[in-house]
Chains A and B, each alone.
Chain A
């Protein structure tokens, strides 16, 4: 597709369950970012991939959160033992270049809204 695609658009789960959120970036974009946006707040950085590797995961709140990008394209954000406080919109973004002098324009997906009951 032409833009960043995220699935599912909505996910309702029960406390303690495992959740996977998928992001398909714009073709050719080497940098991929995950952000989390709570109601009425701006997005908060979670993790950034350059290619297949996580270049910066300092925003992941705890070890229940994990993300992968095995082939340098699609990324999956994984949340174990979900808690009610994990409820938020999880946004994925990609850019053509990243870091240093080549900070590229960010393109965001429409997000995955996670509700933990």
Chain B
């Protein structure tokens, strides 16, 4: 059974800092790895999706990397802003594809002025 772990559970940084969120998974036979953002009381917003054959994906100030062999993914946020404050979740898709995702418990990020 796939297990997804996210470290740290919570993170507080000053505005403008670059930061890295970590995600690890136990079963490397994944189809893709996805990163989501969740604001309090809201649903999830898809940020980046990395296919198993890819090493990284970029969108604006966000860059996600994937190392299947070591079971790790990182989400890099450049020049953080207060509006980036949210919970960030990573999730793996099983080897056969589809969106039956296994989620981590998330990293709660606070970017302070």
Q: Which residues of A contact B (CB under 8 A)?
A: 4, 31, 33, 35, 40-45, 48, 56, 59, 91, 93, 95, 98-111
Q: Which residues of B contact A (CB under 8 A)?
A: 4, 31-32, 34, 36, 41-46, 49, 89, 91, 93, 96-106
A-B contacts, CB under 8 A, total: 70
User: Would A91 and B97 count as touching, CB distance under 8 A?
Assistant: no
User: Would B96 and A44 count as touching, CB distance under 8 A?
Assistant: no
* Residues in chain B near residue A56, CB distance under 8 A: 98, 100
Expressed in whole angstroms, the Cα–Cα distance for A109 and B41 within the complex equals 11
Contact of A4 among B31, B43, B93 (CB under 8 A): B43
Q: Knowing A41-B105, A42-B104 touch, does A108 contact B44 (C-beta < 8 A)?
A: yes
Expressed in whole angstroms, the Cα–Cα distance for A100 and B36 within the complex equals 21
List 10 tightest A-B contacts by C-beta distance, closest first. A42-B103, A108-B43, A108-B44, A99-B98, A110-B43, A100-B97, A103-B97, A45-B100, A42-B105, A43-B103
Inter-chain pairs besides A42-B105, A108-B36, 8 sampled, C-beta below 8 Å: A42-B104, A43-B89, A43-B91, A45-B101, A56-B98, A91-B43, A103-B31, A103-B93
Secondary structure of the A side of the interface?
A: loop
Minimal Cβ-Cβ distance residue in B for A33: B99
Minimal Cβ-Cβ distance residue in A for B41: A110
9 pairs, CB–CB < 8 Å, chain A vs chain B: A91-B44, A98-B99, A100-B96, A103-B31, A103-B32, A106-B101, A107-B46, A109-B43, A110-B43
Q: Knowing A105-B46, A107-B46 touch, does A40 contact B105 (C-beta < 8 A)?
A: yes
* Residues in chain A near residue B32, CB distance under 8 A: 103
User: Would B89 and A103 count as touching, CB distance under 8 A?
Assistant: no
Chain B CB within 10 Å, residue with most, of A35, A42, A102: A42
Expressed in whole angstroms, the Cα–Cα distance for A57 and B69 within the complex equals 30
Minimal Cβ-Cβ distance residue in B for A104: B99
Q: Knowing A103-B32, A105-B49 touch, does A43 contact B96 (C-beta < 8 A)?
A: no
User: Would A48 and B43 count as touching, CB distance under 8 A?
Assistant: no
